């Protein structure tokens, strides 16, 4: 890479890339022993979630392959008994998709008779067809994975040029891939390729790196290149190139990363999730920084390329997202419709990409993703662009696929989020959506006095969220009371209905307790049948226009013997006599309630999971970002 990229100036300050794919890839070629670097890189990617790990190095005229089922600590035990010497290699953490978590299915996979080793993120949709063809050609398969076909394809085409072999192999793949390969026939050469699954090249002195996530390279390099779709790279210790899939030279941009070691550590906290919950006041501050315009009573976004005239022509907003980002989008729907008087539709990205809804050029599509790599959201964005709609992205990771491909991007500035269960990114998304709703409202019919009031209230939110964190001791007490239950219901109305959904999701994700969120009025339309003495219901009942209605729904649960946990305001004199347990939050205007009401729900999920002995930062079966369907 050194010769191919030396003329490109380092530019831009980048947040550390987080959560870009289910599985982790780390590759190295240089003058040092590869194994410790590969193992250290995988350790930094543990937050993603995985069930097996492995690495391969080039040693002498052969490959040294080491794998384990379980954690990286298990792989380390294997390596202690059987070291993997060599100064170039590839490694991988796998989250099972095709085939169970077994030693045979763990990566790397060998192609041919050990002529190549390959690691792969993504899904190969035509793997069954390719497997049959390769078996007919005499290749023997040792795993159930779709990835092994890539290794055999590269081995089939391997002659005098490993890059040409990779090019020919990927030309036959249908699906997504981020892959890396090494071969003992070409010592010191590391080849990568990307389509739909991220790859990052790290630049060093007499050494180069490849990873699915720049965070794996922390401490080794600050200069990285993000591969684009349909690009390949070929790395040696002293040189390299980025190429198109047709092998034409590319002119990549080198980005300088500013590693924040404080973000990389838990500090005084037992888990990253708790640290990130407690960081939310600062996250709101960062999301607002430089965006509040008190003169015009509005919010501005410096890189919003859609000018006011274009925004005034928009008559519909379509938001597409998954998981926690979807819940933030639902709150954004209330905000934009209230402040800007624009109709909003919120779509699951996984459904929107396959529907054929009527879309017109006066609509704008807003794609929301913490990582900027969520496969379904990225596909929905691309489909919207194909149909000629303007697109806007809200994401946290600079340089991510969604950020690059959207017409314009608003960054969350939440900082790296390591815990798999998203917390502070949700808060940042809601804050930015509030600013966007204010911006759109002031372009239309929202008065200056209303805009000023919103700005004043918003600037108080960091301190109010800090006050909310004081509920932690009460939450701990409630968690001890209910951590043994098997089901929990969450209820809220209006702005707090999406918060109920988010609270239920957090509990499911990290404690493995079944939980569901509902609009409170929907209880009597079916879910009330679930109420019994062993099923607590969490009611979000701060002071708001729907308070009396929500209290009526609470009474229905109490009348049927269901325990009630209420999230309410200190001034509420009625709630103590009706709820079994009460968590107090500051009284705020209705449209700010999600920012304070979500905090005790995050803490409740955390404390219950802690008491149940769950792996909070790396819950089972989950990944930080889903880059496959």
State the DSSP code for 249: B
Question: For residue 267, with 0-12 CB atoms within 10 Å meaning exposed, 13-18 middle and 19 or more buried, which class applies?
Answer: exposed
Per the CB < 8 A criterion, the answer to whether 367 and 349 are in contact is yes
Strand ranges in 11-59 using DSSP code E only, listed in sequence order:
11-14, 24-29, 52-59
DSSP-derived secondary structure for 177-237: EEEEEE-TTSTT-EEEEEEBS--EEEE-SS-EEEESSGGGGTTT-SEEEEPPTTEEEEE-S
Report residue 409 CA to chain centroid gap: 16
Distance in angstroms (rounded) separating the CA atoms of residues 262 and 275: 11
Strands 537-540 and 487-492: parallel
**Of 258, 282, 542, 225, residue with least CA distance to 412:** 282
Strands 391-395 and 487-492: unpaired
What crossing angle do the helices spanning 34-44 and 72-81 adopt, rounded to 10°? Answer: 170
For 24, left (φ over 0), alpha (ψ -120 to 50), or beta?
Answer: beta
**Of 452, 471, 423, 456, residue with least CA distance to 598:** 423
State the DSSP code for 10: P
Quickly count: other Cβ atoms within 10 Å of residue 581's Cβ.
Answer: 18
Q: Which residue is it, tokens 């003329």?
A: 7
Distance in angstroms (rounded) separating the CA atoms of residues 491 and 489: 7
CA angle 54, 60, 65 (to 5 degrees): 15
CA angle 446, 449, 393 (to 5 degrees): 45
In the numeric block, which tokens belong to residue 188?
């010191």
Q: At 117, give phi and psi (nearest 5°).
A: -125, 140
Per the CB < 8 A criterion, the answer to whether 197 and 170 are in contact is no
Catalytic residue IDs: 23, 624
Distance in angstroms (rounded) separating the CA atoms of residues 606 and 156: 50
């Amino acid at each position: 890479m050194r010769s191919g990229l030396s003329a490109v100036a380092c530019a831009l300050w980048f947040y550390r890339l987080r959560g870009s794919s289910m599985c982790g890839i780390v590759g190295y070629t240089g003058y040092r022993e590869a194994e410790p670097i590969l193992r250290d890189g995988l350790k930094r990617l543990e937050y993603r979630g995985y069930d097996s790990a492995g690495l391969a190095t080039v040693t002498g005229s052969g490959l040294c392959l080491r794998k384990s089922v379980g954690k990286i600590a298990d792989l380390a035990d294997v390596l202690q008994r059987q070291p993997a010497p060599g100064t170039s290699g590839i490694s991988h953490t796998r989250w099972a998709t095709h085939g169970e978590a077994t030693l045979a299915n763990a990566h790397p996979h060998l192609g041919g008779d050990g002529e190549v080793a390959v690691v792969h993120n993504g899904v190969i949709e035509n793997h069954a067809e390719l497997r049959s063809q390769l078996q007919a050609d005499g290749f023997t398969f040792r795993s159930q994975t779709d990835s092994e076909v890539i290794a055999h394809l590269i081995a089939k085409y391997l002659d005098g040029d490993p890059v040409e072999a990779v090019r020919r192999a990927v030309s036959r793949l249908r699906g997504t891939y981020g892959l890396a390969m090494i071969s003992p026939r070409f010592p010191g050469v590391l080849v990568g390729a990307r389509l739909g699954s991220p790859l990052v090249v790290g630049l060093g002195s007499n050494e180069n790196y490849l990873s699915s996530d720049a965070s794996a390279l922390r401490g080794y390099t600050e200069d990285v290149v993000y591969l684009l779709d349909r690009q390949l790279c070929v790395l040696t210790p002293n040189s390299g190139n980025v190429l198109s899939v047709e092998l034409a030279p590319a002119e990549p941009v080198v980005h300088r990363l500013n590693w924040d070691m404080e973000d990389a550590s838990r500090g005084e906290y037992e888990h990253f999730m708790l640290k990130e919950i407690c960081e939310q006041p600062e996250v709101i501050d960062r999301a607002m920084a430089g965006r509040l315009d008190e003169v015009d009573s509005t919010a501005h976004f410096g890189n919003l390329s859609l000018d006011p005239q274009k925004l005034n022509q928009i008559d519909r907003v379509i938001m597409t997202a998954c998981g926690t980002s979807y819940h933030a989008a639902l709150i954004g729907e209330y905000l934009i419709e209230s402040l800007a008087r624009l109709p909003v539709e919120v779509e699951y990205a996984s459904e929107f990409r396959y529907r054929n809804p009527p879309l017109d050029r006066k609509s704008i599509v807003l794609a929301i993703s913490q990582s900027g790599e969520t496969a379904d959201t990225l596909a929905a964005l691309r489909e919207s662009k194909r149909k000629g709609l303007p697109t806007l992205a809200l994401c946290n990771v600079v340089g991510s696929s969604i950020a690059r491909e959207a017409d314009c991007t608003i960054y969350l500035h939440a900082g790296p989020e390591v815990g798999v269960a998203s917390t502070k990114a949700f808060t940042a998304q809601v804050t930015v959506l509030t600013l966007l709703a204010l911006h759109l409202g002031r372009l239309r019919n929202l008065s200056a006095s209303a805009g000023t009031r919103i700005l004043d209230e918003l600037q108080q939110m960091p301190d109010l969220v800090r006050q909310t964190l004081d509920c932690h001791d009460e939450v701990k007490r409630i968690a001890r009371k209910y951590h043994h239950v098997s089901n929990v219901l969450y209820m809220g109305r209006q702005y707090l209905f999406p918060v109920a959904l988010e609270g239920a999701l957090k509990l499911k994700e990290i404690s493995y307790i079944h939980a569901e969120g509902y609009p409170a009025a929907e209880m009597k339309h079916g879910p009330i049948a679930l109420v019994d003495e062993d099923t607590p219901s969490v009611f979000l009942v701060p002071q708001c226009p729907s308070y009396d209605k929500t209290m009526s729904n609470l009474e229905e649960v109490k009348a049927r013997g269901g325990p009630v946990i209420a999230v309410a305001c200190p001034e509420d004199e009625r709630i103590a006599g009706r709820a079994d347990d009460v968590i107090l939050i500051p009284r705020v205007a209705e449209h700010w309630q999600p920012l304070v009401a979500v905090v005790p729900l995050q803490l409740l999920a955390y404390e219950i999971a802690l008491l149940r002995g769950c792996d909070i930062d790396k819950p089972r079966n989950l990944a930080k970002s889903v880059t496959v369907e």
